[in-house]
Amino acid sequence: MLDAFRTAAAYPQGATAVSLPIDIMTKGTKTSIPALPATAFTPPEYGTSPSASLSRAASMIQNAKFPVLFLGTRAATPDAVQAVQGFLRKHPIPVVETFQAAGSISQDLAHLFFGRIGLFRNQPGDKLLAQADLVIVAGYDQSEYDADAWHKSQSLEILHLDWIPADYGAFYNPKLELVGSIAANVKALSDILANVSRPQEFEVAKSIFTEFHAWEQSPQALGQTGDGPIHPLYFIKLMQGMLPPSPTVSSDVGSMYIWLSRFYFAYSPKSFLVSNVQQTLGVALPWAIGASLSQEPPCSRKVISISGDGGFLYSGQELVTAVQQGCNITHFIWNDGKYNMVEFQEVDKYGRSSGVDLGGVDFVKYAEAFGAKGLRVSRSSELEAVMKEALSYKGVCVVDVEIDYSHNHELMRNVIQDNIS
């Protein structure tokens, strides 16, 4: 029960603890334990850190030549996001975010955004961190991206902002902790800071920024690689253009989650849902159902969910719930007939793959068995029309997308070799 409360504690709305009555049978006698009175739990409001601590933090930032802001999951709450964006408008510095903090940076601040980091340490944001002399880490949970992965050197100066004290260790060793309201402390710092360095204007940062955006003009993203199965970059770029500013997009686990985590942009917090720590195959559709039901009013806006074909079969039967509840969900299956992420790791480790072939399912008919609409697309030239139909459909629609994973292995090999040490 506590965990639910503690999670809830990051949000201003509060929560209600409910208990059920319990009957216990002992030697034929029934003892009834009545339900506990429902308790309206109000999470505590956190305050600002002591002014001495704030002054020390401000000095650290002002003395830094290359400060970088690093946003984690607990910095992706509405009040923290508002404070962070206010800070950046006044004191522009480069920002990276974890997968879970997706959407913390608004479109007007995109010139400060150096992408997401997590899982493999080979992304532009990782290169940026390697240049930093101060990392301002806000709302970060080490389970998002292990500190021993992104901070092998143990030598970065870290300023920790959170309402939870740092889980201090060899790899996550903040010089100073501001424990209290992230929003209040960010705002307080913003107010007292004067001259802050602008590392995004340094050549090295500009070069990383350019590298970060290079893919957008690649033949793959522009759909110029022939009319066969759909390339992930083309899918993502096309979809991003067809969606309203920040719809809820729910990602499953697998190769597609690497593509989406790197290349799908979100501009409002909690609008891109991704499983990282637990790597639970099959989460995309159930999360989409939850997101749809928690809209106000329920099921009022389109929710997108995306999975591989293997992941979809883990929980595809939840379509019955989605349909019965009147959800408004478009689910795209990136279908390559394989457990692709398992396959390329097997090839990497053992020189061949084994037991990864899927296929044999008619997903259109499968969708129809649950009362959902089914669509299918296997050529790049048809993607735009099918995507339009799927996104405009009111109700639950499943789209079987024949995906082009021909470069996945290469990409992953780079992932492993590109390690910054």
Shortest approach of a copy of itself to residue 12 CB, angstroms? Answer: 12
Pairing of strands 29-33, 22-26: antiparallel
Shortest approach of a copy of itself to residue 148 CB, angstroms? Answer: 11
Q: In what order do the strands lie in the sheet with 303-308?
A: 272-274, 248-251, 303-308, 329-335, 396-402, 373-377
Shortest approach of a copy of itself to residue 245 CB, angstroms? Answer: 32
For a copy of itself, which is the closer residue by CB, 174 or 223?
A: 174
Shortest approach of a copy of itself to residue 268 CB, angstroms? Answer: 25
Helix (H, G, I), strand (E, B) or coil at 237: helix
Residue ranges in contact with a copy of itself by CB under 8 A: 1-2, 5-6, 9, 17, 19, 21, 23, 26, 28, 31, 36-37, 39, 41-50, 52-53, 154, 160, 163, 165-170, 173, 175-181, 184, 313, 316-317, 320, 323-324, 349-350, 358-363, 365-366, 368-371, 421
**Positive or negative CA dihedral for 171, 259, 364, 249?**
positive
CA distance 328 to 339: 28
Please name the residue that has the structure tokens 């799908």: 264
- Residues 323/301, Cβ–Cβ less than 8 Å: no
For a copy of itself, which is the closer residue by CB, 216 or 362?
A: 362
For a copy of itself, which is the closer residue by CB, 107 or 153?
A: 153
> What are the φ/ψ torsions at residue 393 (nearest 5 degrees)?
-70, 130
For a copy of itself, which is the closer residue by CB, 17 or 277?
A: 17
- Residues 399/376, Cβ–Cβ less than 8 Å: yes
CA distance 68 to 95: 6
State the DSSP H helix or E strand holding residue 31, giving kind and residue range, or none if neither. strand 29-33
For a copy of itself, which is the closer residue by CB, 20 or 194?
A: 20
Please name the residue that has the structure tokens 């729910």: 250
CA distance 146 to 370: 40
Shortest approach of a copy of itself to residue 225 CB, angstroms? Answer: 30
Shortest approach of a copy of itself to residue 128 CB, angstroms? Answer: 23
For a copy of itself, which is the closer residue by CB, 212 or 312?
A: 312
For a copy of itself, which is the closer residue by CB, 6 or 413?
A: 6
How many helices (H) and strands (E) in the chain? Answer: 16, 16
Shortest approach of a copy of itself to residue 87 CB, angstroms? Answer: 19
CA distance 123 to 118: 8
Shortest approach of a copy of itself to residue 47 CB, angstroms? Answer: 5
| Helix spans in 51-181 (H) | 51-63, 78-90, 124-131, 147-150
For a copy of itself, which is the closer residue by CB, 49 or 250?
A: 49
176, 179, 182, 183 alpha-carbon torsion, rounded to 10°: -110
Shortest approach of a copy of itself to residue 136 CB, angstroms? Answer: 15
For a copy of itself, which is the closer residue by CB, 15 or 130?
A: 15
Shortest approach of a copy of itself to residue 393 CB, angstroms? Answer: 18
For a copy of itself, which is the closer residue by CB, 97 or 343?
A: 343
CA distance 253 to 285: 11
